[in-house]
Amino acid sequence: MALQRCGPDETALTIDDSTIAGAEACLIARRLGHEVTLFLNPHQIITQTPYFFTILNLAIDQLAERARRTNPKVSWRAPQYVALRQQARSRLISLADGARDSELRRSLSAWDLEMPRAAPEHHPIDLSMLTKLVAAGVQIGNHGWSHIDIASLSEDSLCDDITRARQWLRDATGQAVDAYAVPFGLATPPAAVLQQLNGPCLLVDASRPVGELAPGLINRTDITDGIQEWAPSIYPGDPRRRCLFRHAGRRTTLSVILGAIAIGLVLTLLTLLWKAWLDGR
Ligand SMILES: [Zn+2]
């Protein structure tokens, strides 16, 4: 199905990650009558461990806060913290669960920080919330086992990651879980992996066109221009806060409601084509 054939009624709402914020956004969507798909990582649900990028963001915020005590001009957006965040993130992003947890703890120790406490909206959902979501009519999708960067996986390991997550989610929800959203949304699975998927594979890559890039491979809208224009009205006087509406937020202290709304809007509002793709099968 080509992008041009999608009308306004063929937009689809998708939300990624196993967080309370994402789940609340789905429930809001359902209350408003929208179809919505929530792409989940079983590892976070099973272990009840916040995402490493959430912990990392909080840790870098704490480093900046510590520096601010002696120099009030220091900002969490200062280049040294942006660089530190990127360096640590690229170290952690490709590690498997156990190695990633160890490396994260090693970094916290090196920075002389305790394990940061994630805000409630950033905590993983539990099984009772998963049941609630399914009962509310939320479609569940596959976001891989533990949100690893798939570019670091061999073809076999990627297949195992997708299959393991799909089976767990299917058993936990009773739904067929055929749609797959690539963790971090950038890397394209090898063609052989794409062929083995029973549903669409979704990206969120601002550097590529929105729509169907190849059969079954669909690039979603991270955020629409309309939402970008709307964002400053929420934060009058501080247009820089528009950055809050970007994927994988750079700030970590949103309230539950703002977190739910932001993630719901940021990650997905007006995700194009998935429904169209299904309709065209
Ligand atoms: Zn994600």
Q: How far apart are the CA of 184 and the centre of ligand 1, in A?
A: 5
Q: How far apart are the CA of 100 and the centre of ligand 1, in A?
A: 16
- What is the pLDDT averaged over residues 164-182? 96
Bigger pLDDT: 12 or 179? 179
Average pLDDT, the chain: 83
Question: Does the structure show a pLDDT above 80 at 236?
Answer: no
- What is the pLDDT averaged over residues 226-236? 58
Q: How far apart are the CA of 279 and the centre of ligand 1, in A?
A: 25
Q: How confident is the model at residue 270 (pLDDT cuts 50, 70, 90)?
A: low
Q: How far apart are the CA of 125 and the centre of ligand 1, in A?
A: 14
Q: How confident is the model at residue 28 (pLDDT cuts 50, 70, 90)?
A: very high
Q: How far apart are the CA of 165 and the centre of ligand 1, in A?
A: 14
Least confident of 13-27, 122-136, 217-231: 217-231
Residue with tokens 């224009």: 229
Q: How confident is the model at residue 273 (pLDDT cuts 50, 70, 90)?
A: low
Question: Does the structure show a pLDDT above 80 at 126?
Answer: yes
Q: Where do the structural domains in the chain lie, given as residue ranges?
A: 3-50+124-280, 52-110
Which CATH superfamily includes the segment(s) 3-50+124-280?
Glycoside hydrolase/deacetylase (3.20.20.370)
Q: How far apart are the CA of 66 and the centre of ligand 1, in A?
A: 29
- Helix extents (H) in 32-148: 42-47, 52-68, 79-92, 97-110, 127-135
pLDDT computed for residue 112 by the predictor: 94
Residue with tokens 């429904």: 275
Q: How far apart are the CA of 20 and the centre of ligand 1, in A?
A: 13
- What is the pLDDT averaged over residues 58-81? 85
Q: Of 218, 194, 216, give the one whose Cα is nearest residue 205.
A: 218
Q: How far apart are the CA of 193 and the centre of ligand 1, in A?
A: 19
- Give 182's contacts (C-beta < 8 A, 6+ positions apart): 144, 150, 188, 189, 201, 202, 203
Tell me what percent of the residues of the chain surpass a pLDDT of 70. 78
The strands making up 201-203's β-sheet, listed across from edge to edge, are: 211-214, 217-219, 201-203, 180-181, 139-142, 36-40, 11-16, 271-272
pLDDT computed for residue 213 by the predictor: 93
Q: How far apart are the CA of 231 and the centre of ligand 1, in A?
A: 22
Bigger pLDDT: 69 or 150? 150
The answer to whether residues 121 and 256 touch, using CB atoms and an 8 Å cutoff, is: yes
Q: How far apart are the CA of 68 and the centre of ligand 1, in A?
A: 31
The DSSP symbol for 19 reads B
Q: How confident is the model at residue 161 (pLDDT cuts 50, 70, 90)?
A: very high
Q: How far apart are the CA of 124 and the centre of ligand 1, in A?
A: 12
Segment 96-120, tens digit of pLDDT: 888 998 999 999 999 999 999 999 9
Q: What does the alpha-carbon distance between residue 142 and residue 48 come to, in Å, rounded to a whole number?
A: 18
One-letter identity of residue 205 = D
Q: How far apart are the CA of 70 and the centre of ligand 1, in A?
A: 36
Q: How far apart are the CA of 23 and the centre of ligand 1, in A?
A: 13
pTM: 0.77
Least confident of 129-143, 146-160, 207-221: 207-221
pLDDT computed for residue 163 by the predictor: 97
Q: How confident is the model at residue 241 (pLDDT cuts 50, 70, 90)?
A: very low
Least confident of 63-67, 192-196, 250-254: 250-254
pLDDT computed for residue 80 by the predictor: 86
Q: How far apart are the CA of 181 and the centre of ligand 1, in A?
A: 8
- What is the pLDDT averaged over residues 129-150? 96
pLDDT computed for residue 191 by the predictor: 94
Q: Of 237, 199, 236, 240, give the one whose Cα is nearest residue 218.
A: 199
Q: How far apart are the CA of 90 and the centre of ligand 1, in A?
A: 15
Segment 249-261, tens digit of pLDDT: 333 334 444 555 5
Total H helices, total E strands in the chain: 11, 8
Q: How far apart are the CA of 183 and the centre of ligand 1, in A?
A: 5
